[in-house]
Amino acid sequence: MAGKGVLIMDILKVSARSAPNSVAGAIAGVIREKGEVEVQAVGAGAANQAIKAIAIARGYLAPAGLDIICIPAFGNVEIDMVERTAIRLIVQPR
């Protein structure tokens, strides 16, 4: 996907209805493959599922010696033509 030296990070979009265990599996998969992933959430319910998923993913990756941490940041996403503030959680091994 990346070209001309541009680094593109995989983004997992989480909603309030996302199952934390499934998102955790996806986080663990991308971390193993790419070493880093961004988890994006819009709204309190989504942010809650995202943070739970990262806590669960820590357990999936710990046996492989991967101690993941997250860096929270804000971002903007457009949903149905409306600009909304997203929580971006950048997940990396420590």
CA distances, 19 to each of 25, 32, 38, 44, 52 (Å)? 10, 20, 17, 15, 9
Number of residues binding to a copy of itself, judged by CB under 8 A: 20
Contact call for residue 94 and a copy of itself (CB under 8 A):
yes
Scan residues 17-76 and list those touching a copy of itself (CB under 8 A).
43-45, 47-48, 51-52, 54-55, 58, 69-74
CB 27 within 8 A of CB 15: no
d(CA 3, CA 86): 26
CB of 40 to a copy of itself, least distance (A): 12
Residues that bind a copy of itself (CB under 8 A): 16, 43-45, 47-48, 51-52, 54-55, 58, 69-74, 87, 89, 94
